[in-house]
Amino acid sequence: MHPDERPETPDQPKPRWFDRDLVVAVSAIVISLSALLVSLVQTRVMMAQRDAAVWPRLVVWSSFRQQDNPELVVGVKNAGVGPLLVRWAQLTLSDRPMANALALLDSAPPPTGPSENTASHASLTGTVLTPGEDRELLRVSGPIAQQVATLSPRTGLIVCYCSIYEQCWTHTTRQMSAGASAPLITPVAACVDPAGPVF
């Protein structure tokens, strides 16, 4: 071999800045991830629409008629679009749980003079309210109704209820009197039994 001659070497492969197979693989991954993301978003939207279609909404109401024979009525209504499952309800007087609605009569100051009074009450725990359904919790007629009405600023109602998909809320009404502050509605993971009696 001549001293100026160099041994031949095989041709070195030139770097490839554009790999078609790599681009196709990356594109397939991007498309798959995009499809997965769209599917997840659609699923969340569908679940939200499903839940909204059966949302219950509790409304606490009361009325007091003072003319002629006084009468006080306290009740609840499902103003939502789905069934309202009451897990528990608790009536309070000055934040102290009461055994039932009739216990308010025992706490009210007695009317003066002889009087005829009638009272009825209903339990709420474990019941189901259909959309638009009203339920009376307490009806008091006679002079004692006036005395029970004086307790309204100190009377509260706490209800824990759920939808049919087990979305749950607590509804807290601190005062039954007119002009009271709006109720506090709080989402909860589950309706845990409270301390004290329920009705």
Residue 156 is assigned to a structural domain of this protein: yes
pLDDT above 80: residue 109: yes
- 186 sits in which H/E element: strand 184-188
Query: What letter represents residue 111's amino acid?
Result: P
The reply to whether 36 and 70 lie within a common domain is no
Number of residues in the chain: 199
User: Do the Cβ atoms of 65 and 170 come closer than 8 Å?
Assistant: no
Nearby residues of 158 by Cβ (< 8 Å), 6 or more positions away: 89, 90, 92, 170, 171, 172, 173, 194
Co-location of 119 and 160 in the same domain: yes
In the predicted model, is pLDDT for residue 152 greater than 80? Answer: yes
pLDDT at 68: 78
Tokens 């409270």 identify what position? 194
Domain boundary among 6, 31, 52: 52
124 in Cβ contact with 89 (< 8 Å): yes
Do 100 and 146 fall within a single domain?
Answer: yes
* 115, two tokens: 């009087």
CATH number of domain containing 137: 2.60.40
Q: Out of 32-41, 59-68, 86-95, 176-185, which region has the weakest mean confidence (pLDDT)?
A: 32-41
**Do 180 and 114 share a structural domain?**
yes
Residue 19 has pLDDT above 90, yes or no: no
Same domain for 141 and 73, yes or no, is yes
Answer whether residue 13 is part of any domain: no
pTM, whole model, 2 decimals? Answer: 0.75
C-alpha to C-alpha distances, 104 to 35, 68, 175, nearest whole angstrom: 60, 22, 14
Considering the domain architecture, whether residues 130 and 48 belong to the same structural domain is answered as no
Q: At which of 31, 52, 73 does a domain end? A: 52
pLDDT of residue 9: 55
- Give the pLDDT confidence score for residue 43 in this predicted structure: 61
- Owning domain of residue 146: 58-188
pLDDT at 111: 76
In a shared domain, residues 183 and 110: yes
- Are the CB atoms for 81 and 187 separated by under 8 Å? no
Residue 31, class by beta-carbon neighbours within 10 Å (0-12 exposed, 13-18 middle, 19+ buried)? exposed
- pLDDT at position 139 over 90: yes
Contact 179, 154 (CB under 8 A): no
Residue 74 lies in a domain: yes
Let me know if residue 92 belongs to a domain: yes
DSSP letters for 111-167: PSS----EEEE---TT-EE-TT-EEEEEEEESHHHHHHHTTGGGEEEEEEEE-TT--
**Helices (H), ranges, 71-114:** 103-107
Same domain assignment for residues 95 and 80: yes
What is the number of structural domains in the chain? Answer: 2
One domain, residues 40 and 65: no
146 and 115, same domain (yes or no): yes
